[in-house]
Amino acid sequence: MSQDVVQSVDRAFDIIEALRDGEVGLIDLSKKASLNKSTVHRLLSTLIYRGYVNQNPENNKYKLTLKFLQIGSNVLNSLDIVDIAKPHIRKLAKQANEVVHLVLIEKDEVVYIDKIESNNTIRMHSFIGKRIPIYCTAVGKAYMSCLSQDEFSQLWDSFEDKLIKFTHNTIVSKDNMSAEIINIKDNGFSVDNEENEEGVICVAAPIFSFDKRVKYAISISTPQMRIDENKIKTFGGLVKETAKEISKDLGYNF
């Protein structure tokens, strides 16, 4: 144990984590936390006093209170995805030396909510607030790869007559997109191969929230002339790792 760790606080969190799945009796709690009963009882008394644990008078078992939910809710309300992601996407833009986008998934569209420019003279014609259909973007395809088959079918069917071929490469076939999603799941990242804009290739990965939902994604965008298959794989690894770090900051456990 690190010399900076306070043992009693560390043990209290062992008890809290042992109670996360529901009511537990003193003996079982002692086993789960790997602590003797007297230590567990003493720490429980403090947690009860602070309002974080209750004891059921009918069976004498212990459980967490809604005070944790209140604190968690307050933390969630104070989260700002742009602030959380900013240092990560700045680092990514520096590593790739290409423009990086952070997007919000909103129904059947992606919305640019942050952008870090590159040092290259040729830049992307994107802006914060811009909306693009999900189906023709790398970030949108990254999102769709995280949906169940039923969720994907429902989303795709909702496009109805809204599917437009923006370029020759735009995927407007459900079967073709399903095949694309299989590849995305295998690789862990998605690629927009000039599907939204000719001459522009994007590589993206999904960001997971604490509740395991995908609400955001990040991408590296580059002119087609500056990228090849090897660089796509390199960028894929970079966006995956960056998305993972942002997800961790949002409370997602891998």
Over residues 179-225, the pLDDT tens digits come to 999 999 999 999 999 999 999 999 999 999 888 899 999 999 999 99
* Separation of first and last alpha carbons in the chain: 24
Candidates 104, 111, 116, 108; CA nearest to 130 is: 111
pLDDT recorded at residue 249 = 92
What are the pLDDT digits (tens) for 56-90?
999 999 999 988 877 776 665 556 888 899 999 99
Structural domain of 123: 79-249
User: What is the chain's mean pLDDT, rounded?
Assistant: 90
Q: Are residues 63 and 101 in the same domain?
A: no
pLDDT recorded at residue 210 = 85
- Per-residue HEC secondary structure of 26-46 comes to HHHHHHHHCCCHHHHHHHHHH
Separation of alpha carbons 152 and 103, rounded Å = 19
Q: Are residues 87 and 151 in the same domain?
A: yes
Separation of alpha carbons 66 and 126, rounded Å = 44
Residue 55, token pair as written in the block = 């004891």
Q: Are residues 150 and 227 in the same domain?
A: yes
How many domains does the structure of the chain reveal?
2
Candidates 3, 6, 73; CA nearest to 43 is: 6
Q: Could you tell me the CATH number of the domain that includes residue 135?
A: 3.30.450.40
